[in-house]
Amino acid sequence: MRMWAQSLLCRKVRLVPSFGAALALVFLILASSQPAHAIPAFARKYGLRCSACHESWPMLNFFGQKFKDNGYQLMNDRDSPIWQNPSYWPATMRMTPIWHRVSTNRNQVDVYTGDTVTGTTEAKITSSGFDLSGLDFHTAGTLEKNFSFYLLPSSDPTGAFHFESVFARVDNIGNNPWLNVKFGKFELDNLLSEKRILTLTANGGIYQLYHFIPAGDNNIFGQIGDNQLGAEWMGHSANDRTRISAALLSSNDGSVLLPYGSESYSAFFAASQAFDFGKLGVSRFGGYAMVGEAPTQWLTNGGSGAPIPGSGTGNKGYHREGFVGQIYFGEHADVTVVTQHGWDSAWFGQGYGDFVDNPTATCANSTGFPAPCNNLPGTSLAPGSRAPTWNGVLVEPHYVVNPQWILLTRYETIRMSQQSTPGTPSDLGNVTTYTLGTRINPFMNNRAGFAYHAEYNWFHQDGTSPVTGSNLTSSELLFGFDFDF
């Protein structure tokens, strides 16, 4: 769910005393409880309770992950839609009216002498008010037993729509749970899914680890948090303790119409194993890797050096890899840990790569055209250019007070281990972010769901303010009513 335009800043937390008091007040006012049930689209089909599949809506528990892995099936005679009431329609709409306060310490602003702009400086900007998230229109389920689908038209807050997810999957080929094939646009099969994230702020509502791009780098193709276009094979044991998947993807970050190049591909691999620790619960450990190449060179036309969409060549490589652990400490507490190591070709590190989202990028080595960066024939990298590398970790603990109330926090940090350009400060672009939040579901039945949501995020990035190159910090406080039906 794309809540609103995501900030490019990365922020550090500084606790404000009033926030703890505000959360305490929210808990006291909102903590009324009623029996909870499943998300509407599948509850209407199977009659399951919400807590059967969700640790907290929309985050899946072990059973919910197994249900998803089986292609949204319970593997019984109710899986085929032909057995459902003709009035059943597997659709859910979700939107979130919110109030939020956003503050960023260093924004580029003009300096005036009289009515003439004579320069630029930096200023803190703080704004608050009522707002809306985007709209998600989920429809998913089975077309026939072992033929599943998912369709998600999604809009931004202004009502501009795009297709966030569109895929069909053939499940249990030959009655074998190790043979499942998906085709379309889908989330990558990592244990910690950004598409079921519990947080909603602009920077806390994404996993920074999944979207990190070093300062000056122009490789947008390795964003694990974005839905990607491609095909996926996924297999799992009958009890879903063992899972493995491999996907072949177009190197375009999920963009349609081949805007970059038709001959560049990436791959994503994931595997995990679950272990039963008795009273502590079932914990899962695994690893993932995204490996690929993407274009840095385009044919041009008109004598202007403007790239021709779809003509991308000059493919350069990149990779990200890491480990994931989902560890349970009984029925109330758990923690998810994700690590990542990232590497980009020096060409990406010097600003070559994406010309669609970043058409005014300037390169360390001039190509003769001011923008966009284009690795034209004969271009060479600036002397001493290196491949940027970095390491990061994410830690997200949860405490489930009851099936309707969850407390959560998250810490992420990303540290550069090698900058692309020699002499660049070693900490340029480093990220630190903290998030604290809660969700309370007063009800969740087979027709609708509702959540009171409260969240605070701090976000910090080293050395990337637009004028002075100082540290950027930002914070956001958010309260909202998250509902679906």
At residue 348, the 3 state secondary structure works out as: helix
Written as six digits, the tokens of 395 are 């830690």
- pLDDT: is 292 or 382 the higher one? 292
CA 260/CA 307 separation, integer angstroms: 9
pLDDT digits (tens, 9 = 90+) for 341-357: 999 999 999 999 988 77
Spatial contact of 442 and 450, defined as CB atoms under 8 Å apart: yes
pLDDT at residue 70, as a whole number: 77
Site of tokens 């966009």 = 372
Give the DSSP letter of residue 14. Answer: -
Judged on CB neighbours under 10 Å (0-12, 13-18, 19+), 70 is buried
pLDDT at residue 437, as a whole number: 97
pLDDT digits (tens, 9 = 90+) for 262-287: 789 999 999 999 999 999 999 999 99
Give the DSSP letter of residue 23. Answer: H
At residue 456, the 3 state secondary structure works out as: strand
Average pLDDT for 401-411: 94
Give the DSSP letter of residue 12. Answer: B
pLDDT at residue 32, as a whole number: 34
pLDDT at residue 51, as a whole number: 59
Question: Cis omega before residue 97 (within 30°)?
Answer: no
pLDDT at residue 230, as a whole number: 98
pLDDT at residue 304, as a whole number: 66
**242 — pLDDT class (breaks 50, 70, 90):** very high
pLDDT at residue 17, as a whole number: 38
Residues of 207-228 as b/e, b for ≥16 C-beta within 10 angstroms?
A: bbbbbbbbbbbbbbbbbbbbbb
> What pTM does this model have?
0.84
The β-bridge partners of 126 are: 103
Asked whether the predicted pLDDT for residue 360 surpasses 90, the reply is no
**307 — pLDDT class (breaks 50, 70, 90):** confident
CA 250/CA 110 separation, integer angstroms: 41
User: Which is nearest to 257 in space by CA: 229, 219, 295?
Assistant: 229
Count CB-CB contacts under 10 A for residue 181: 13
The β-bridge partners of 344 are: 318
Beta strands in 71-227 (DSSP E): 91-95, 97-113, 116-132, 136-144, 147-155, 161-170, 180-186
pLDDT at residue 37, as a whole number: 31
pLDDT at residue 69, as a whole number: 76
Written as six digits, the tokens of 128 are 């608050």
Q: Are strands 389-402 and 472-484 parallel, antiparallel or unpaired?
A: unpaired
Contacts of 455 (CB under 8 A, 6+ apart): 199, 200, 201, 204, 435, 436, 437, 438, 476, 477, 478, 479
**57 — pLDDT class (breaks 50, 70, 90):** low
Q: What is the mean pLDDT of the chain?
A: 85
Nearest-10 Cα torsion for 138, 133, 185, 315:
180
Spatial contact of 450 and 443, defined as CB atoms under 8 Å apart: yes
Break the chain into its structural domains and give their ranges: 17-484
Which CATH homologous superfamily contains domain 17-484? Answer: Porin (2.40.160.10)
Q: Give me the phi and psi of 211, to 5 degrees please.
A: -125, 5
